[in-house]
Structure 1
Amino acid sequence: MTTAAATAPKRAILYRMVMPEHICPFGTKARYLLKHRGYEVEDHWLTTRAEQEAFKAQYDVATTPQIFIHGERIGGHDDLRRYLGLSVKDPKATSYTPVIAVFAVAALLALGVNWLTAMPLVGVMTVERFIAIAMMLLAMLKLQDVDRFATMFLGYDLLARRYVPYAYAYPFLELGAGLLMLTGALHWLSIPVALFIGGIGAVSVFKAVYIDKRDLKCACVGGNSNVPLGFVSLTENVMMVAMALWMVIGVGMS
């Protein structure tokens, strides 16, 4: 390879949809990725549906954007990532990322509340607030689409299978118990609710995963997640039970 060829700028041609009502996000991502990797991008906009359909027919492709490098059609955004040696996320792959995010935010919020209330940053109160806040965040995710959550929940919860309305009530019960635990109010209500839903949940998950050996998705972060049912959901329920029992001890000693 000559020095001139080695130092020649890398060039790419990008065809993407840019219309007043819609700008293709994958086209925008592909343009950024190419420029970030040092390519000079010849950016062609498809500004009407007719232009887009004509382009797809010309190159016999089903979607846009389309990227060409050195005269070779690379494909769309995911194909470009593969071409550049980057990973491509499998939308069906299981992931613990949603749960990690919930627990991390819950921990930060617990620390923040302790800071604002002049409490020690690390202590028993931190753990109590972390569990209560985590319960509320998990309930919030379920409440985004209660019907979808209930549908997934019915796949393994023992009580919900016998009484379907319980699946729809569960997020509200979890949210209410978490709020009462965070504020320290109405122990007579929050403790039995947490023991009830946490206990049934723990038994249901243990049976489905460790006895029946079923491969299911967890409804713990809502009905649109790829979190596998197992340790995470069991942890959620055990935390509720442990928090309730700890509060029983605290109430008994006070």
Structure 2
Amino acid sequence: MSTTTAHTEQAGAHVASAKKAVIYRMVMPKHICPFGLKSVDLLKRQGYEVEDHWLTTREETDAFKAEHGVQSTPQTFIAGRRVGGYDDLRRHFGKAVADPQAVTYKPVIAIFAMAALMALAASWAAYGTLLTVRAAEWFIAISMCLLAVQKLRDVEGFSTMFLGYDLLAQRWVRYAYFYPFGEALAGILMIAGALTWISVPVALFIGTVGAVSVFKAVYIDKRELKCACVGGNSNVPLGFVSLTENLMMVAMGLWMAFRMV
């Protein structure tokens, strides 16, 4: 082995051994800090040797915070310098930190993707093939059900956001509470292909009112609102997504009505 190679390997070994981090995190009988676990995992994935200190009591945690003048744990130290909590650690490594107030379409993408996969799976199970007319029907119906679940998780929160733009709900407040149940009912009946005399009128009614309301709020009044389509307190902007949800219900209602003829 050459002298240069040996020196290079020694330098690499020195750098590797220097990558050490110290973390203080809460590990109590009734509470293990999830951000502490995430911090340890991130450090290890970045190649750090972690000196892991557990804060096992509330008194020990409070004393640590007072000593270091911090408001929360975990706290990570690298090369003797305090980096901070989990978000600070991600920033330290140049990784993105989620903004809880940022606009996002992720919830809707997840719902529609799962609905599509479920519809294809059902089609395969029932007909032995993926691409069927029934799969398309199931996709819309399952999407309606999954979107209804999001609203039913917090009906009060949904109704508050919904009242900001729905024309019928603004005239009859109780409609804001009926909407998610109507969407769920229509979706379930359409999955089953049963009682179309109930599912079709419900889907057509709430879909049409919703589409008109969204179109007026977004494209005529030019209002910037958050969409209640995935429940209350969402960061999905009102617009194309909510309009698509309502138009899907209208299209499904018309298609089911056509099949009844």
TM-score, scaled relative to structure 1: 0.96
Match of 1:194 in 2: 203
Q: Alpha-carbon deviations, 1:1-26, whole Å to 9, x = none?
A: 98264343400000111111111100
- Stretches of structure 2 that go unaligned for 5 or more consecutive residues are 1-7
Structure 1 residue 113: deviation in Å? 1.1
Structure 1 residue 181: deviation in Å? 1.2
Report SS of the residue matched to 1:43: strand
| Alpha carbons of structure 1 residues 109 and 151: separation in structure 2 relative to 1, 3 Å | same
Matched, 1:172 2:181: yes
**Which residue type is aligned with residue 108 of structure 1?**
L
**Which residue type is aligned with residue 114 of structure 1?**
S
Report SS of the residue matched to 1:108: helix
Q: Alpha-carbon deviations, 1:183-237, whole Å to 9, x = none?
A: 1111211111111000000011111111111111111111132111110000000
**Which residue type is aligned with residue 153 of structure 2?**
Q
Match of 2:168 in 1: 159
| Alpha carbons of structure 1 residues 7 and 100: separation in structure 2 relative to 1, 3 Å | closer
**Which residue type is aligned with residue 202 of structure 2?**
V
Q: Alpha-carbon deviations, 1:122-168, whole Å to 9, x = none?
A: 13221111001110111111111111111111111111111111111
Report SS of the residue matched to 2:235: coil
TM-score, scaled relative to structure 2: 0.93
Report SS of the residue matched to 1:117: helix
**Which residue type is aligned with residue 50 of structure 1?**
E
CA contact (8 A) 2:123 2:132 kept: no
Structure 1 residue 70: deviation in Å? 0.3
Alignment of 1:104-143 (within 5 A): 104-118=113-127, 120-143=129-152
Alignment of 1:77-88 (within 5 A): 77-88=86-97
Aligned to 2:50, which of 41, 45, 53? 41
Matched, 1:12 2:28: no
User: Which segment is superposed worse, 68-77 or 1-10?
Assistant: 1-10
**Structure 2 Cα separation of the partners of residues 77 and 225 of structure 1:** 24
Aligned to 2:255, which of 235, 246, 249? 246
**Structure 1 Cα separation of the partners of residues 187 and 15 of structure 2:** 62
Structure 1 residue 86: deviation in Å? 0.6
Structure 1 residue 49: deviation in Å? 1.1
Percent same amino acid among aligned pairs? 65
**Structure 1 Cα separation of the partners of residues 92 and 81 of structure 2:** 11
Q: Alpha-carbon deviations, 1:86-128, whole Å to 9, x = none?
A: 1100011011111111111111111111111125411322111
Aligned to 1:68, which of 55, 77, 87? 77
**Which residue type is aligned with residue 219 of structure 1?**
A
Where has structure 1 moved over 4 Å in runs of 4 or more?
none
**Structure 1 Cα separation of the partners of residues 128 and 189 of structure 2:** 19
Structure 1 vs Structure 2 CA RMSD: 1.4
**Which residue type is aligned with residue 51 of structure 1?**
E
Aligned residues: 252
Match of 1:29 in 2: 38
Match of 1:148 in 2: 157
Matched, 1:231 2:240: yes
**Which residue type is aligned with residue 72 of structure 2?**
T
Report SS of the residue matched to 1:238: helix
Matched, 1:218 2:218: no
